[in-house]
Amino acid sequence: MPSAIIVDDEQTLIDYLAGKLQQLWPELEITGTAVNGRQAIALADETEPDIAFLDIQMPGLSGLQVATELPADIQIVFVTAFDEFAVEAFERAAVDYLLKPVSDERLQCTIARLQTHQQDPDLLAAREQLQALLRDLNPARSDCLQWIRAGLDDTTELVAVADVVFFQADHKYTTVATAARDYVVRKSIKELEQELDPQQFWRIHRGTIVRVDQIAAAKRDLRGRFTLTLRERPEKLRSSQSYGYLFKQM
């Protein structure tokens, strides 16, 4: 008898899907449910189900991350309320997914697929494809800085890294410039450079890190240095010669 686990951070939705499955596929045994990713992995270990219904957006580990952790012989069906990118990718890779609220017709199709897949000899190959897809969809958790604690007298304000236009070294401190105002942090440019996402922030000078999508234009002078104009700040930033290679393509 086939068995399945259902993972969703909302108990109501677990019950709902379980009810529907019972109705449409009475032979399927629901061996357990979980409300977050870590529980899901533990549950799969314990009950070794044939099928896992995974909600994508969950606290802790997402459904996508859980999928990469599960044994390859478990068939996975993603369940999502709305996730354009994922759905598109699933379509391309022929991975099964359900949209919430789940309709009987759609669930019927999924059940039919699951039943045929069980005899599919190429399951492992398909699984590998899925793993690759998930790595693309869900790149390794970035350990990059998201928030900066900026000291202002006795309070510490939080500045979203996404709001920062540039960082400028200022003696022992670093000025954090957002579109609206400046903040000061105790971290050095060097420390910040290591913590920031190198895709989003470039160090252009010994004392300057700039957010790449804030660069409006880069103008080269005779000595190979660049002067940058920014989108949301009036300042002009100068790159030093050694960082000039960053703008060679611009």
Partner 1 sequence: MHCRLASTANLFRRKRIHMSEPQPQFSFNAIDTEPVKTFLLTGLLCLGISLLVVIFTGTPFWASALMSFSIGWSINLSFLLLGNLLARWMNPYVAAIPLTALGMAFGLIVSGVGIFGDAWHFFIGEYDTLVITTFFGVVGFAIFSTRGRLADAEAKLAKAHAEQEKRERLLAETELRLLQAQIEPHFLFNTLSNIAGLIHNKPDVAEQTLLNLTTLLRSTLKRTRQQDTTIAEEITIGKAYLDIQATRMQGRISYDINCPNHLQAHPLPPLLVQPLIENAVTHGIEPNETGGSIHVAVCADNASVNITVADTGHGVEATQSNPGTGTGLRNVRERLQALYGEAASLTLTENKPHGMVANLRVPLEHSFAEAD
- Token pair for 39: 């529980």
Determine if 151 is a binding residue for partner 1 (CB under 8 A): no
Task: Figure out which of the listed residues 27, 105, 122, 143 binds partner 1, where binding follows CB under 8 A.
Answer: 143
- Under DSSP, is residue 40 helix (H, G, I), strand (E, B) or coil? helix
Determine if 10 is a binding residue for partner 1 (CB under 8 A): yes
* 237 close to 210: Cβ distance less than 8 angstroms: yes
Sign of CA dihedral 144, 150, 156, 159: negative
Binding residues for partner 1, total number by CB under 8 A: 34
Determine if 199 is a binding residue for partner 1 (CB under 8 A): no
* Amino acid occupying residue 74: I
Question: Which residues, numbered 83-102, are part of the site for partner 1 (CB under 8 A)?
Answer: 83, 99-102
Question: Which residues, numbered 219-238, are part of the site for partner 1 (CB under 8 A)?
Answer: none
Measured in whole angstroms, how far is the alpha carbon of residue 122 from the centre of its chain? 29
Determine if 120 is a binding residue for partner 1 (CB under 8 A): no
Task: Figure out which of the listed residues 3, 31, 47, 57 binds partner 1, where binding follows CB under 8 A.
Answer: 57
Task: Figure out which of the listed residues 3, 31, 38, 243 binds partner 1, where binding follows CB under 8 A.
Answer: 38
Task: Figure out which of the listed residues 1, 140, 180, 222 binds partner 1, where binding follows CB under 8 A.
Answer: 180
Q: Is 128 exposed, middle or buried (0-12, 13-18, 19+ CB in 10 A)?
A: exposed
Which value, in Å, is the radius of gyration of the alpha carbons in the chain?
A: 25
Q: What is the DSSP letter of 103?
A: P
CA 52-53-55 angle, to 5 degrees, is 130
Determine if 158 is a binding residue for partner 1 (CB under 8 A): yes
The site for partner 1 (CB under 8 A) is made up of 9-13, 15-16, 36, 38, 57, 59-60, 81-83, 99-102, 141, 143, 146-147, 149, 155-163, 180
